[in-house]
Amino acid sequence: MCANCGNPAAPGHWTEAGAAGPGERLRARFRRSQVLKSVLPFYGLSAHDGAIIPGIQLSNLSGQEVIVQNLEEFWIEAERMIGRPVDPLDQRFLGAGGSREAA
C-alpha cells in the first residue's frame, strides 16, 4: 500500500517485464514518460508521471485531466480526448522527415 495516497501498489504492467527490481521498474517508467512526452504535443496532449501516484496523468490543452493505470488505458483515453486515433508509429515521430505539425 502506498503510504502517501493509500492506493495498493500496482503489480506491474507487461511493459515492465524483465525489470530486475523496483529500481529498474522505476527507470522503465521514467523512460516511458519521456517517450510519451515526445509524441503527445503533436496531438495537443501532455503526460506526467512523477512516480508519486500510481498511474500516468494525461491532460489536454483545455485542462481536462485523467489518471490512467497503464499504457493500454493511456492510449484509449488519449484517443477519446482528441476524438481521433493516435498513431505513435507515425513517421513524424520516427525521424523520417515530413512535417512536425499536428495531423
Which of 34, 32, 40 is CA-nearest to residue 12?
32
User: Are the C-beta atoms of 71 and 32 separated by less than 8 Å?
Assistant: yes
Three-state DSSP state, 48: strand
For strands 56-60 and 45-48, give the pairing: antiparallel
Name the amino acid, one letter, at 76: I
Which of 10, 19, 78 is CA-nearest to residue 47?
78
Q: pLDDT confidence of 100, banded at 50, 70, 90?
A: very low
Q: What is the pLDDT of residues 25-63, one digit of tens each?
A: 778 778 888 888 888 888 899 998 876 777 889 999 999
Three-state DSSP state, 77: helix
pLDDT of 49 = 82
pTM > 0.75: yes or no: no
